[in-house]
Chains A and B, each alone.
Chain A
Amino acid sequence: MLWILPALVLITSLILYPVAYAIWLSLFDKHSFFPAERWVGLGNYARIAGDAEFWDSLWKGVVYAGASTGLQLVLGLAAALVLHQAFRGRTAIRALVLFPYMIPTIVAVIVWRWLLNETYGVVDDVLLRLRLVREPVVWLGVDHMMASLIVVSVWQFTPFVVVSLLARLQTIPLELGEAARVDGASAWARFRHVTLPQLRAVLFVVVLLRSIWMFTKFDTVWLWGEGAGAGREIRTLPIYAYMRTFTYYQAGFGAALAVIMFLMLMAATLVYFRLFWGEEDAA
């Protein structure tokens, strides 16, 4: 028992206590820095149910998480398959692919905001010179802010998918693919019936983790929209919870939003396990 005590202390203090405190706080109407608080029970949750901003933020979060996770998977899988082949310079390319994941988020955001600036940015300059657009695209305006955020997020986090899938690809016995080739299977058939089943377990974990992390993503979203009125277009649920706590100064309401996010993710995870974990067992 003594051996697991340090781990128990860490888990309790860093995970259980904050979650319990957030649930407790969500039952109060509490100002963020003024000490007074008032018991409201489930009152915050009732207000959230009727709050149009909450539903709007939830939708934006689903769009952001869904689109960015989907693109990360597709691009990550494609990149992993390419990097699994033998070619000259493969080692250097593999190292370069990791680069976006290694740089700090603030650096990535600052660089991309400059690249996509419609007045000074390189991207619009190239698009105009190639006559692909007739006027600069306002990537950071109300119309394209979500799309540009998704692009930056995919750029930043696809390497995680690449590394995870590449590691698994390298453990797939070569004989399986060779046997399929000898039997006359096409490249697509080999991918579908040999490679993909072998990747299923890793894909299960990667999809789960990336979805959770993109839905709860705060730093990239906040920095992308920070200082811009158009930031409202990417006001996902974590951002809205932060705003309710630190700019509306309603800590109880913000805690309730966080609890709701936690419960939604728990429910989604349970459904995901029920739907796909059984297939893993069967596989």
Chain B
Amino acid sequence: MIGRRTLAAALSALVLVLSVALAEAADKKVIRLWQTETEPQTLAVLNQMAAEYEKTHPDVSVKIEGLAWGDLEKKLTAALAAGAPPDAAHGQPITCVSFAAKGLLRPVDDLADSIPKDNLVDAFRHLCQWNGKTYGVGHSPASSVFVYRKDLLAQKGLKVPRTWDELVQVAEALKEVRDGQVVRWGLTMTGQPLFINIAVGELLKTNGGRLFDAEGRPTLTEKPMLELLDFYKKLGRVLPPGWTGHSYLDTFANLANDKAAMLYQAYGRGVGYIEKYAAKEIADPDHFAVADKVVGPLGRTPAAQLDCEPWMVFKDAKGAPEAVDFLKFFFQDENYVPYLHSVPIHLLSIKKSTSRNPRYADNAMIRKWRPWVDMQEKYFRNDWIKPVLVTDWEDMKKPYLLEVMGSGILVDMVLDAVKGVPSAEAAARAQKRVEELLASSGYLKK
């Protein structure tokens, strides 16, 4: 039986400990970072990184929150509207430029200089620049990749498609029907709005097209875009009929589970799905191979989307200097390499020196899936890679790409074409809507 004196002493001690803890917490500056890598192993690495930083900075508490990629802009918008943004966050490159243009961000030239700038992969050194200042430093670049079942193509004596038309022909040839049912589709693509926006940018670039002219007016009725919409109509023959309802992860599942032979918009993290769900004897890059993106009739070079969210720091954030300091810590190799290794084929290094670091290359997945890494690095070197809705780096100077992406007008245009609306009519409708959006937002004169 516990005596009253013992109980009182225990309670007093508990109150004392709690008070000290609360007092300490109250003295600590809390910095909040939002980021889009939500895999459990990545979050574990980031939390470990935060704990290590706090050991040497006992007056700072680092809180890192993982957000789904598709939710990022909405959550940031709501936080900004409420006057409570985090101290630092990932953002799409176009989000970063949009925020910088609106005066919401703190320049991070000091962060870039600590790396230093010429150590950043050339293509992404100026990922988020506005009026000559750097407002974002990419956390890790990745490229969308075209993945195909090498064994199935070989079985049917098919060559890897290089053009839009060849893609449709090969997909048609790879479709497998049994007892009147399609058991494997030749191609899978996602109907998720964000990824349709991405695909429009990629495909348009591979067809020599552009989204905006030099004055910033949309150019949706030009020939490359009309051909793109016609291409989507042809794709409807070879894609699963429910593709407009397939999420990004559904397409990985389709590929890994042998429901589809090719995936146009894959990413390095898809390797995880293949390793987990594909038959063990084929879960390797000899079966799930990568090839160059297909080129349109008016294009000459392939193009892919850059997946590289810059770290942005908000100008009015109370913890802005501490957030920048933590990000310098983040990019140090002893922290950066474990971060990249958490999703090794997707999280590639934005630092040239880290790519050459033997500790970075010493990873079983990187060794096994080397062709996937090499393909992405090839697109970085050749500058065949741009952020979503950017067909030319000059587009990054346009502060309204975020609004165009969020409006879903380009997605509606593609869906119109897929549903049977003539391409010219679908494009004209979208052109009018984008013009109205930009004019009403003050970006364009009517």
Contact = CB atoms under 8 A, between A and B. Distances in A.
A3 to B, nearest CB: 34
A21 interface: no
Given A29-B440, A248-B406, A249-B402, A230 B77 contact: no
A219 interface: no
Interface stretch (B20-28, B48-56, B242-250, B325-333): B242-250
A274 interface: no
Contacts of A118: 240-242
Contacts of B193: 227-229, 231
Given A118-B241, A142-B418, A145-B245, A232 B402 contact: no
Interface residues of A, number: 34
A31 B441 contact: yes
Interface in B81-106: 81, 102, 104
B78 interface: yes
Contacts of A32: 77, 80-81
Nearest to B68: A227
B247 A119 contact: no
Given A247-B74, A249-B406, A33 B191 contact: no
Interface in B116-144: none
Contact of B414 (A128, A136, A229): A229
A57 interface: no
Nearest to B411: A229
A249 B242 contact: no
Interface-centre pick from B80, B104, B244, B402 (highest chain A CB count, 10 A): B244
Contact of B191 (A47, A229, A247, A248): A229
Contact of A230 (B81, B245, B254, B437): B245
A230 B244 contact: yes
A228 B191 contact: yes
Interface in B242-281: 242-248, 250, 254, 259
Given A33-B80, A246-B78, A249-B403, A119 B259 contact: yes
Interface of A: 29, 31-34, 47, 53, 117-119, 128, 134-136, 138-142, 145, 227-232, 243, 246-251, 253
Interface of B: 70, 73-74, 76-78, 80-81, 102, 104, 180-182, 191-193, 196, 240-248, 250, 254, 259, 402-403, 406-408, 411-412, 414-415, 418-419, 433, 437, 440-441
14 contacts: A31-B441, A47-B440, A119-B259, A135-B182, A139-B242, A142-B415, A227-B247, A230-B244, A232-B408, A246-B78, A248-B406, A248-B407, A249-B402, A249-B406
Given A31-B441, A141-B242, 10 more contacts: A32-B77, A47-B440, A118-B241, A119-B250, A135-B181, A142-B418, A229-B414, A230-B191, A232-B411, A249-B77
Q: What 10 A-B pairs have minimum CB-CB distances, sorted nearest first?
A: A140-B245, A33-B80, A247-B406, A229-B191, A138-B242, A230-B244, A228-B245, A229-B244, A118-B242, A141-B242
